Amino acid sequence: MEGIAIIVVSAISIIGNVIQYLLNKKNTDIDSLDKQFKLFKDFQLEKDKEQREALTERDKNINILKERVSKQEIELIKLRKLFIQMLKDGCHVTDCPNKESYSIAEINKYTTFKNI
């Protein structure tokens, strides 16, 4: 009977140790998961911040490019008007058989954009 008591006490002790180990492991796993979640959360917040900054920079660059395109459109309008003016003031083959290319003075006259 003494032998059975020793076996039962040993079995209860071993079962208690296994249960304690499993509970400690569960706590450790929960702590580990909590730490991992916090790290992931911090990583996600940093990533979101960097994305916002990148989007802000992109929007800034888009606005700069829009301004440049707008300025180029204005210059194209000026050039188109200049071209039309030069064609209007130029001579036709039937009107001027000895036509020559524009002189520097004439080009300077047209490129001042005063008459456009």
Tens digit of each residue's pLDDT (9 = 90 or more) over 21-53: 777 777 777 778 888 889 989 999 999 999 999
Instruction: Look at residue 92 in the predicted model and tell me its pLDDT.
Output: 56
What is the number of alpha carbons within 13 Å of residue 23 lying toward its C-beta? 6
Tens digit of each residue's pLDDT (9 = 90 or more) over 55-104: 999 999 999 999 999 999 998 998 888 887 777 666 655 566 666 666 77
Q: Token pair 């071209």 is at which residue?
A: 83
Q: Please check whether residue 116 is in contact with residue 84, taking contact to mean a CB–CB distance below 8 angstroms.
A: no
Q: Please check whether residue 78 is in contact with residue 111, taking contact to mean a CB–CB distance below 8 angstroms.
A: no
